[in-house]
Amino acid sequence: MTDLVRAQAPVVMGVLNVTPDSFSDGGRYADLDAAVAHGVRLVSDGAHLVDVGGESTRPGADRVDAQTEAARVLPVIRELVAAGVVVSIDTSRARVAEAALAAGAAVVNDVSGGLADPDMSRVVRDAGCPWVLMHWRGHSRGMREFAHYTDVVTDVRDELAQRVDAALAIGVAAARIVVDPGLGFAKTAEHNWQLTARLPELLALGFPLLFGASRKSYLGRLLVDPDGAPRPTAGRETATAATSLLAVAAGAWGVRVHDVLGTADALAVWRASGRPRLATDRAGLHEDDTEGDR
């Protein structure tokens, strides 16, 4: 799995929520056969790994107990691993992560960055597996209360650096760490756009970065209909692929998406065109390089 973390090509993480209440696909894959079939399909569509989650982290969601969460994810993980799928476990609980790793999961994707469960760092360290540390300020039920920043990019970068330092201090290998700015987690739409536009400042931390904008509500609010209603989740796939492409072109290590095929297609175009990178210094453009009025 160290090879995955150090991959030069963009890594595509496919989302598989085995929950009844996730914001986009809650209830669709609660059945074991349906969940496994979808996970296998995500890989055939171009996912490098499948992120299995048993607890919704949508804004306002209530928590489930660890036993329920584990019961949802473990059978799916075992079946997917048996089918040759590389699996990550989307959890903030050390107990669930440990059981998932024992069932064959290869990566821990922790939306709390290790803050929700102090024992998570021990589990990851002892397993020697990659650990995605996401920027987080509180559980879903009350996270909107924490969406206040002096400068969101600087604050997120500094808080992620603290989580990295804590992981390193307990013995987690630097080569196993991936960071995630946590779009939508204690973030407004404007915060999400700022983080997207200034991604190189987060990349300056020196760790691979996972970017996850897939189907999020701020995309729906961007794509309003003539009456001002936000675009439903099913209509946000093109915007998701666009954000994924922007993130990879800025230097992101990987993207976490529901619709793998659309993002894989966009990244294929990016690769075929020579892997162009985004300019990071707009102030350095010549006047005739800026957008015209036609």
DSSP 130: -
- Is there a catalytic annotation at residue 6? no
Phi, psi of 203 (to 5 degrees): -65, -20
CA separation for the pair 121, 171 (Å, rounded): 8
User: How many CB atoms are closer than 10 A to CB 189?
Assistant: 16
Active-site hit among 163, 216, 231, 236 = 216
Q: ∠ CA 197-152-182 to the nearest 5 degrees?
A: 75
- Identify the active-site residue in 256, 277, 282, 294: 256
Please check whether residue 39 is in contact with residue 85, taking contact to mean a CB–CB distance below 8 angstroms. yes
Alpha carbons within 13 angstroms on the beta-carbon side of residue 172 total 25
* Residue pair 155/182 in contact by the 8 Å Cβ criterion: no
Three-class DSSP category at 160: helix
Q: Residue 218 is encoded by which pair of tokens? A: 């701020």
187 is catalytic: no
| Active site (catalytic) residues | 216, 256
